[in-house]
């Protein structure tokens, strides 16, 4: 089974590790650049992206992650999606620039701040829309996507689940739902990237 790391500096990494196990991968927690060696893929979890950036700098992980994500599959959820974006606003901050998306942080105000919604998603291998539970927690909004980005699900017309090549991002927390279709999809992207190397 593919070895998939979960960045474990801050945020919701334990639940991602469990979800990866359920999706047939071998998870490991990543706290240092050395821990990236020999991994086939990586998840950047939700949490607080400004805090994560601080930890990335402290552990010299920013450059290491940029190198890793250029060649290997990565899946960013919520704060993790913010870290992967090309551009971050509200407020602006540095990012890895791996995904051709512009994100606006904390884009849903007040009551809409956090919500559990059932949205239609087209998650391969499914070839049509199917309902999926999406847990949003102080979620960012993907304000725009580049032409190479495939939108798998949207909320109010804004993408919430996307793929670009072997990179994935969700503005919600798939690890908090029992459904494993999204982690299964990432594991299959990791497997096909591994074969083509």
| Interface with ligand GLN (CB under 6 A), residue from 14, 21, 22, 48 | 48
Paired residues of 150 in beta bridges: 163
- Sequence-separated (6 or more) residues with CB below 8 Å from residue 89: 102, 103, 104, 105, 143
Report in angstroms the alpha-carbon separations of 99 from 16, 34, 70, 87.
20, 24, 10, 9
Closer residue to ligand GLN (CB): 19 or 137: 137
Binding-site residues for L-glutamine:
47-49, 105, 137-138
Closer residue to ligand GLN (CB): 40 or 74: 74
Report DSSP letters for 124-146, one per residue.
Answer: TT--S-EEEEEEEES--EEEEE-
Cβ(100)–Cβ(148) under 8 Å? Answer: yes
**Would residue 22 show up in a list of annotated catalytic residues for this protein?**
no
In the range 116-175, which residues lie near ligand GLN by CB under 6 A? 137-138, 140
Pick the catalytic residue: 78, 104, 163, 183? 78
In the range 51-90, which residues lie near ligand GLN by CB under 6 A? 78-79, 82
Binding-site residues:
47-49, 105, 137-138
Listed ranges 29-37, 40-48, 57-65, 67-75: which one lies at the site for ligand GLN (CB under 6 A)? 40-48
Shortest Cβ 32–ligand GLN spacing (Å): 22
Closest CA to 140 of 98, 112, 101, 104: 104
Closer residue to ligand GLN (CB): 37 or 51: 51
**Would residue 78 show up in a list of annotated catalytic residues for this protein?**
yes
Closer residue to ligand GLN (CB): 105 or 166: 105
Cβ(66)–Cβ(96) under 8 Å? Answer: yes
Shortest Cβ 46–ligand GLN spacing (Å): 3
- Sequence-separated (6 or more) residues with CB below 8 Å from residue 101: 81, 84, 85, 86, 87, 142, 144, 145, 146, 149, 159, 162, 164, 169
Asked if residue 46 binds ligand GLN (CB under 6 A), the reply is yes
Residues annotated catalytic, as ranges? 78, 173, 175
Report the interface residues with ligand GLN, using CB under 6 A: 46-49, 78-79, 82, 105-106, 137-138, 140
């Amino acid at each position: 089974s593919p070895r998939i790391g979960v960045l474990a500096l801050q945020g919701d990494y334990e639940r991602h590790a469990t979800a990866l196990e359920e999706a047939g991968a071998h998870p490991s927690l990543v706290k240092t650049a050395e821990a990236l060696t020999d991994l086939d893929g990586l998840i950047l979890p939700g949490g607080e992206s400004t805090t994560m950036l601080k930890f990335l700098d402290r552990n010299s992980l920013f450059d290491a992650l940029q190198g890793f994500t250029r060649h290997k599959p990565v899946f960013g959820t919520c704060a993790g999606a913010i870290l992967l974006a090309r551009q971050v606003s509200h407020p602006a901050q540095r990012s890895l620039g791996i995904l051709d998306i512009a994100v606006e942080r904390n884009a849903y105000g007040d009551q809409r701040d956090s919500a559990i919604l059932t949205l239609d998603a087209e998650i391969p291998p499914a070839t049509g829309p199917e309902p999926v539970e999406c847990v949003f927690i102080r979620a960012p909004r993907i304000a725009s996507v580049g032409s190479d980005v495939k939108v798998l699900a949207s909320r109010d017309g804004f993408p919430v689940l996307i793929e670009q090549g072997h990179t994935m991002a969700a503005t919600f927390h798939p690890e908090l739902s029992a459904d494993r279709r999204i982690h299964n999809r990432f594991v299959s992207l990791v497997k096909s990237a591994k074969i083509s190397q």
